[in-house]
Structure 1
Amino acid sequence: MRQADELAALIGRLVTSDGVHETAIPRLALIRACQPTEPVHAVHEPALCIIVQGRKQVMLGERIYLYDRTRYLVVSVDLPVVGQVIEASAEVPYLCLRLDIDPVQLGALMLESKTDSNKQSEGGHTDAGPCLAVNPAAPELLDAVLRLVRLLETPRDISVLAPLAEREILYRLMNGEQAARLRQIATAESKLQQVNRAIGWIRRNYDKAFSIEALASEASMSPSALHQHFKAVTAMSPLQYQKQLRLQEARRLILGAALDAASAGFRVGYESPSQFSREYRRLFGAPPLRDVARLRSARAVDMLGA
């Protein structure tokens, strides 16, 4: 794992404080944590995440994904997940990078490399499936990632060389174990893209009630097909997905905008304060005020997306 060692040394030089650090390279962020973190609820957007030191777990629905320097994480649609750094110390901090996946670049690369967009897997299977996965980190992928991160030490080269390194990273991913899922991101009428249209609608209208029939129409699918594929992709139903978004936004409003629980619940679409408090407690493990007080005292660092 020579590449991981070099990446760890490089990221250690570039970021010396905990948190998520955006970089001069578009879509690339570097992350550091010197201790394990609290579980963080948030929406993970499409991205490649590579840990070079430490360990993390991400929970989607009831399933837990563990990854470290030997395995990378790929997310191919917006997913409400719970992320937690579980191995980190001041002496050996958690170090990670996140590269957001640009679907436009992915589509252009797929066309240029003459990838058969209809061949979603070796068996030609086109159904949407889980859109969060952990896979072994191949040396070829790490080589390309290392070249990209090295450019942060020679900023004058970023504009010319960063797009080349990013293209190679996407190419390696497209020819790896997540090839079928990534190709579906760039294929307009794939089941994944249809589900993604439904996801986008819910994210824009998370505070509004909706019917599964109206959402299915938005996705150009039948209600039964939408429900089936939505759950396969996100590990939850459309209504469960909306509930996660509502509660995460309410938590952000209480924590960051100093709203009281009733006002935050109403802002995100709840009409009943008791229902809001009950569902908030079920998701976060404590009533709103106690949960927010715990977060403030712990000073939890948002390590999601890495």
Structure 2
Amino acid sequence: MGTKAIQLPNRETQRMKSYREELLERIARAVPEDGLIEPLAGLRLYRASSPTEPLPGVSDPTFCVIAQGSKEVYLGTERYRYDPYHYCLGTVELPIVSRIVEASKERPYLSLVLRLDPSLVGSVMIESGHAVSSSPVDAKAFDVSPLDAGLLDAVVRLVRLLDHPEEASFIAPLIKREIIYRLLRGKQGDRLRHIAILRGYTSPIARAIELLRRNFDQPLRIDEIAREVGMSVSGLHHHFKAVTAMSPLQFQKRIRLQEARRLMLHEGLDAASAGFKVGYNDPSHFNREYKKLFGLPPLRDVERLRGYNGKRSGRDSVRRVRAA
């Protein structure tokens, strides 16, 4: 018994090592140059040869695995870091800040992102016996957990389909279901309920998030939002922060400031006009809030982004956080 107990962990370690090496080799081959590709529906592969500065953006409901390098994601005041030994799961569209920490030409950052479809998640939950309830889910909408052999094995098998496109249309959906099932059985199972519940807009918190996103440029009237979603003000604050790691006011500020940044970068608006368009009537207040989030006043930040590395456009800088 003692010998078997020793052999099993060693065998598991070897399996994990083999899976990680294969995933690294396959992603490196599929993405030979820096950039993002989507070789299968809902599957994105990404490569970067240098670290990045912190870039604000919006998280998607996704399952993310890193084959090489590491990344940090900031949600509110919380920081998450993951690498080839961990995966991250995001279940609600949230304003985040992220940066690639480890990457070089010799050892580029390589990652995989699987978009999680709400209807598929709900289907797997029902078929596997995981109850779908419309009650509030207080698990945070973003977290990092260790990768296990079964989950990594499924990821590698999905990437292998890139060499067999004739099989992908039939087999890929089956492997995606397996990945969702394994996530449900793992440490982040409760978090997946956000996708089936929040993304289905049957939850008060989901409706509150949608209202804030849709009306981000309007004055925040938390009592009206609470009344519309059928919660008390204190209950809304509690559940909203439990899911998003931000208060409704902090959430609104981030959405406003990221939209103002986009308007200046993409549409050429000046700071005062962009601030006014997203709901700031006082330019000085807008400048202070902008600098607090992005580290520089609006004009200097936009100039920096436009000249970032002499290669990437401001549009790339804002949107790149959607890639893992």
The answer for the alignment partner of 1:70 in structure 2 is 85
Would you say 1:55 and 2:70 are equivalent positions?
yes
Bigger Cα displacement from structure 2, 38-47 vs 216-225: 216-225
Deviations 1:3-26 (A, max 9, x none): 1211111111111222332x1422
- SS of match in other structure, 2:57: strand
Q: Distance in 2 between matches of 1:145 and 1:127?
A: 27
Amino acid at match of 2:196: A
2:115 to 95, 100, 111: 100
Amino acid at match of 1:89: S
Would you say 1:225 and 2:235 are equivalent positions?
yes
Q: Tell me the CA shift for residue 217 of structure 1.
A: 2.8
Q: Tell me the CA shift for residue 166 of structure 1.
A: 0.6
Would you say 1:288 and 2:298 are equivalent positions?
yes
Q: Tell me the CA shift for residue 191 of structure 1.
A: 11
CA contact (8 A) 2:118 2:199 kept: no
- SS of match in other structure, 1:92: coil
- SS of match in other structure, 2:40: coil
CA contact (8 A) 1:46 1:77 kept: yes
TM-score (norm 2): 0.87
The answer for the alignment partner of 1:168 in structure 2 is 178
Q: Distance in 2 between matches of 1:56 and 1:189?
A: 26
CA contact (8 A) 2:137 2:193 kept: no
TM-score (norm 1): 0.91
Bigger Cα displacement from structure 2, 88-97 vs 154-163: 154-163
CA contact (8 A) 2:91 2:195 kept: yes
Deviations 1:38-65 (A, max 9, x none): 1010110211110010011111112111
CA contact (8 A) 1:34 1:88 kept: yes
Q: Distance in 2 between matches of 1:161 and 1:204?
A: 38
Amino acid at match of 2:321: L
Q: Tell me the CA shift for residue 129 of structure 1.
A: 2.7
The answer for the alignment partner of 1:236 in structure 2 is 246
Q: Against the structure 1 CA distance between its residues 87 and 158, is the aligned structure 2 distance closer, same or farther, given a 3 Å change threshold?
A: same
Structure 2: gaps of 5 or more residues: 1-16
Detail structure 1 runs of 4+ shifted over 6 Å in the superposition: 188-192
Q: Tell me the CA shift for residue 152 of structure 1.
A: 2.2
Would you say 1:111 and 2:126 are equivalent positions?
yes
Residue correspondence of structure 1 range 171-250 to structure 2 within 5 A: 171-187=181-197, 193-250=203-260
Q: More helix by proportion, 1 or 2?
A: 2
Amino acid at match of 1:5: E
Amino acid at match of 2:234: S
Would you say 1:85 and 2:95 are equivalent positions?
no
